[in-house]
């Protein structure tokens, strides 16, 4: 008989488990993971939009080295672009503030750039900036020969624009040049600039010797030949000065202010054709430079060709219509061309300043944009505008017509007497114009006379 055997196996739990048991989810971990996911998506969107740069992407603007700024400054100077050269050297100094040589080069270029400016105020401001730069260089390294050499150059050029401080500035310039030579007796830059200072101190013979030595010591140095040319010009040796200026241009052929110097020396020699050629060459180098047009205008003015002179000055005004010096020059041309009403307008603008419509503005613009022209203080370069304006004011005063500009003229007389009391030409003009005004204000008719300030 078969018996059935039943096994009753009781296992713990409800069911058999064939996989590892899952751990229950932690809600905080889920939140962290979601935050990371959404953060990553947000970051990707910012990168795609360009608001964040990838870590290994190149920088949008490559980091420039000091050397690159220096090369740019030198290149601009070689090409005669002095303002961009100044800007490049400023950036080089910003990248390497302790580099003395950079400050020396910046100050040197700034001094030369002042020759391209047309008003005393502009030149004085630029030279004062150069002075600040070179003083910083000297403080950084009191034993840097070139720093003292450029300090001499800066103070020398500044002295020409500061009559009251001229002797003191020339003394300081001489001391700086001597110090530069004490630090390096064979420094041609120091010798060249020392010669320039000596010429301005009217030490003619010594200046010629030092300048010649500098040019011989460094035949490839533009500064040496330029300074030698200046010394020769100061001695009245205009033909030899031209030769040295031309040697300077063989080294740096794009410096327009040297062409201006050559043209001025040809003009002194009476060679008008070559003078105008030199000015024209300066204009070709920089068509936006007003100086060549001023020089050409001056040349024709001295020849008595006032119409051509006026055309060149009017061209200069299209390039710089806020410059009071140009209005003054144009006023002189009108005056000698017997256009006294035109001279009155232009000379008043040069002396007192004026406001007029901007010719470059949109003619349909309302209100019409205005140009402000500042007046020029009485100085060595503006004194001719002042005494010529006084002549025009006196001459146009007419007692019969009830026109009296003499109160305005008398104010100019007072200023001129304070400024140029020792100048017999200026004082003679003042006295003549005062006599005319005395007649006008007394109601006494007088014959109309052509005003007669100094001949051009």
pLDDT in tens, 374-419: 999 998 889 999 999 999 999 999 877 888 999 999 999 999 999 9
Give the pLDDT band (50/70/90) at residue 25. Answer: low
- 370-374/353-357 β-pairing: antiparallel
- Cα–Cα distance for residue pair 131/169, rounded to 1 Å: 11
Domain for residue 175, yes or no?
yes
- Cα–Cα distance for residue pair 240/195, rounded to 1 Å: 16
Residues 6+ apart with CB under 8 A from 161: 120, 123, 124, 127, 379
Residue with tokens 């003083």: 135
- Cα–Cα distance for residue pair 224/376, rounded to 1 Å: 34
Half-sphere exposure (Cβ direction) of 405: Cα atoms closer than 13 Å: 18
Domain for residue 260, yes or no?
no
Domain for residue 443, yes or no?
yes
Q: Where residue 170 sits, what CATH number does that domain have? A: 1.25.40.10
pLDDT given for residue 359 in this prediction: 66
Give the pLDDT band (50/70/90) at residue 369. Answer: confident
Q: Which of 185, 208, 231 is the last residue of a domain?
A: 185
Contact yes or no for 227/244 (Cβ under 8 A): no
Domain for residue 453, yes or no?
yes
pLDDT in tens, 220-232: 999 999 999 999 9
Tell me the Cα Rg of the chain.
37
pLDDT in tens, 280-304: 999 999 888 999 999 999 999 999 9
pLDDT given for residue 268 in this prediction: 96
Q: Is the pLDDT of residue 218 over 50?
A: yes
Q: Model's pTM, two decimal places? A: 0.79
Domain for residue 380, yes or no?
yes
Three-state DSSP at 356 gives: strand
Distances (CA, A) of 103 to 71, 442, 449: 15, 62, 57
Kindly write down the DSSP assignment for every residue of 133-188, as one continuous string.
Answer: HHHHHHHH-TT-HHHHHHHHHHHHHHHTT-GGGHHHHHHHHHHHHHHHHHH-TT-H
Half-sphere exposure (Cβ direction) of 281: Cα atoms closer than 13 Å: 20
Give the pLDDT band (50/70/90) at residue 53. Answer: low
**Cβ atoms within 10 Å of 260's Cβ, excluding its own:** 23
- Give the mean pLDDT of 106-134: 94
pLDDT given for residue 450 in this prediction: 55
Handedness of CA 380, 381, 386, 387 (dihedral sign): positive
Domain for residue 33, yes or no?
no
Residue 345, token pair as written in the block: 């307008």
Q: How wide is the angle at C-alpha 195 spanned by C-alphas 203 and 202, nearest 5°? A: 20
For the chain, give the percent of residues with pLDDT over 70.
83
Q: Which of 155, 185, 215 is the last residue of a domain?
A: 185
Give helix then strand counts, H and E, for the chain.
20, 2
Residue 328, token pair as written in the block: 């003054």
Count: domains in the chain: 2
Domain for residue 159, yes or no?
yes
Domain for residue 46, yes or no?
no
- Cα–Cα distance for residue pair 412/246, rounded to 1 Å: 43
Residue 430, token pair as written in the block: 């003042």
Q: Is the pLDDT of residue 452 over 60?
A: no
Three-state DSSP at 398 gives: strand
* Structural domain that includes position 447: 321-359+366-456
Q: Which of 127, 162, 185 is the last residue of a domain?
A: 185
């Amino acid at each position: 008989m078969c018996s059935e055997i039943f096994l009753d196996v009781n296992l713990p739990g409800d069911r058999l488990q064939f996989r590892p048991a899952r751990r229950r989810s932690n809600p905080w971990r889920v939140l962290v993971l979601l935050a990371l996911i959404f953060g990553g998506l947000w970051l990707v969107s910012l990168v795609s939009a360009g608001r964040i740069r990838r870590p290994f992407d190149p920088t949008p603007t490559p980091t420039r080295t000091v050397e690159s700024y220096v090369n740019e400054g030198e290149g601009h100077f070689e090409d005669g672009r002095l303002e961009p050269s100044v800007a490049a050297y400023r950036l080089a100094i910003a990248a390497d503030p302790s580099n003395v040589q950079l400050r020396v080069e910046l100050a040197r270029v700034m001094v030369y750039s002042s020759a391209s400016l047309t008003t005393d105020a502009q030149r004085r401001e630029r030279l004062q900036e150069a002075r600040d730069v070179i003083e910083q260089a000297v403080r950084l390294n009191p034993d840097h020969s070139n720093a003292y050499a450029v300090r001499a150059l800066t103070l020398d050029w500044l002295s020409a624009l500061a009559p009251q401080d001229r002797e003191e500035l020339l003394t300081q310039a001489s001391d700086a040049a001597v110090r530069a030579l004490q630090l390096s007796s064979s420094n041609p830059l120091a010798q060249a600039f020392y010669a320039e200072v000596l010429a301005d101190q009217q030490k003619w013979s010594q200046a010629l010797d030092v300048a010649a030595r500098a040019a011989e010591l460094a035949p490839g140095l533009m500064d040496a030949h330029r300074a030698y040319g200046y010394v020769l010009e100061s001695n009245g040796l205009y033909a030899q000065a031209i030769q040295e200026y031309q040697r300077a241009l063989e080294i740096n052929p794009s410096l327009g202010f040297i062409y201006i110097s050559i043209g001025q020396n040809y003009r002194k020699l009476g060679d008008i054709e070559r003078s105008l050629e030199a000015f024209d060459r300066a204009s070709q180098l920089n068509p936006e430079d007003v100086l060549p047009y001023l020089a050409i205008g001056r040349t024709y003015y001295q020849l008595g060709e006032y119409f051509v002179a006026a055309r060149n000055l009017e061209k200069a005004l299209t390039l710089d219509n806020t410059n009071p010096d140009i209005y003054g020059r144009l006023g002189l041309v009108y005056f000698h061309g017997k256009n006294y009403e035109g001279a009155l307008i232009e000379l008043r603008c040069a002396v007192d300043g004026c406001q007029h419509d901007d010719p470059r503005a949109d003619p349909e613009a309302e209100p019409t944009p205005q140009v402000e022209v500042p007046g020029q203080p009485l100085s060595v370069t503006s004194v001719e505008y002042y005494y010529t304006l006084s002549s025009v004011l006196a001459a146009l005063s007419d007692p019969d017509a009830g026109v009296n500009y003499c109160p305005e003229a008398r104010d100019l007389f007072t200023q001129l007497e304070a400024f140029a009391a020792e100048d017999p030409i200026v004082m003679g003009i003042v006295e003549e114009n005062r006599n005319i005004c005395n007649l006008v204000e007394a109601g006494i008719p007088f014959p109309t006379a052509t005003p007669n300030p100094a001949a051009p």
